[in-house]
């Protein structure tokens, strides 16, 4: 009996210990403030896709052929919309333009993608200067994506992103190669 109580106590202690001490970066995953000064204006303009993390490799499979992606966020046709354009440089050298319309949610930084009712995007601040973390959730997948204003942020930034997400049980990790020149962003 005493043995079982000890086992239970040790087990609980293990849970508490792990959540406090093994995941110190946990605290860094803070949602962006809704202050108008903080959102969305400072997030407009160019972003480079650096890395992704997900519970399984399959949830990152759509980036397998990607060398690099450059994004450009701009104001949408209404104040509650954002226009996101991207050009994907595929490993085979081809450029693939993409665009999405995001709808802002009143009172939060959550974004809804037009035409994708299953999809939800949450924005988090990053401990890395000029970095931002997105969490995308859709039908059957969820993933964290790390973006930076610079195409090659420091290794420490990437390591922090990886240890934070791995700590949250998003153990599959993908770092974009970024070996080729970024494709040109077009406005059409």
Ligand X SMILES: *[C@@H]1O[C@H](CO)[C@@H](O)[C@H](O)[C@H]1NC(C)=O
In degrees rounded to 5, what are phi and psi of residue 181? -65, 145
In the bound state with ligand X, the residue whose beta carbon lies nearer, of 29 and 84, is 84
Q: Which of 31, 72, 166, 180 binds ligand X (CB under 6 A)?
A: 72
Q: Which of 74, 108, 137, 154 binds ligand X (CB under 6 A)?
A: 74
In the bound state with ligand X, the residue whose beta carbon lies nearer, of 45 and 117, is 45
Q: Which of 44, 61, 65, 80 binds ligand X (CB under 6 A)?
A: 44
Q: Which residue's CB atom is positioned nearest to ligand X?
A: 74
Q: Which of 45, 93, 117, 177 binds ligand X (CB under 6 A)?
A: 45
The upper half-sphere exposure of residue 168, i.e. CA atoms within 13 Å in the direction of its Cβ, equals 18
Instruction: Pull the structure tokens for residue 73.
Output: 């966020």
In the bound state with ligand X, the residue whose beta carbon lies nearer, of 85 and 112, is 85
Q: Are 148 and 136 in contact (CB under 8 A)?
A: no
Is residue 20 a contact point for ligand X (CB under 6 A)?
A: no
Is residue 56 a contact point for ligand X (CB under 6 A)?
A: no
Q: What is the DSSP letter of 55?
A: S
- CA pair distance 114, 121, nearest whole angstrom: 12
Is residue 185 a contact point for ligand X (CB under 6 A)?
A: yes
E strand map for the chain: 45-54, 66-75, 81-90, 95-104, 111-113, 120-125, 131-138, 141-148, 172-175
- CA pair distance 42, 147, nearest whole angstrom: 14
Is residue 85 a contact point for ligand X (CB under 6 A)?
A: yes
Q: Residue numbers of the site for ligand X (CB under 6 A)? A: 44-45, 72-74, 85, 185, 187
């Amino acid at each position: 009996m005493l043995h079982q109580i000890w086992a239970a106590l040790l087990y609980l202690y293990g849970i508490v210990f792990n959540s406090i001490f093994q995941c110190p970066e946990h605290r860094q995953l803070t949602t962006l403030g809704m202050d108008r000064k903080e959102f969305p204006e400072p997030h407009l303009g160019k972003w480079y896709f650096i890395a992704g993390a997900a519970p399984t490799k399959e949830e990152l499979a759509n980036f397998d052929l990607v060398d690099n992606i450059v994004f450009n966020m701009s104001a949408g046709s209404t104040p509650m919309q954002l226009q996101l354009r991207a050009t994907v440089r595929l490993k085979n050298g081809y450029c693939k333009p993409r665009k999405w319309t995001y709808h802002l949610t009143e009172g939060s930084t959550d974004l809804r993608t037009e035409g994708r009712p299953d999809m939800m995007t949450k924005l988090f601040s990053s401990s890395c200067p000029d970095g931002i973390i997105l969490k995308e959730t859709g039908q059957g997948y969820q993933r964290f994506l790390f973006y930076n204003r610079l195409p090659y942020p420091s290794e420490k930034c990437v390591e922090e992103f990886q240890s934070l997400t791995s700590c949250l049980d998003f153990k599959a990790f993908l770092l974009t190669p970024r070996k080729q020149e970024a494709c040109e962003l077009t406005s059409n």
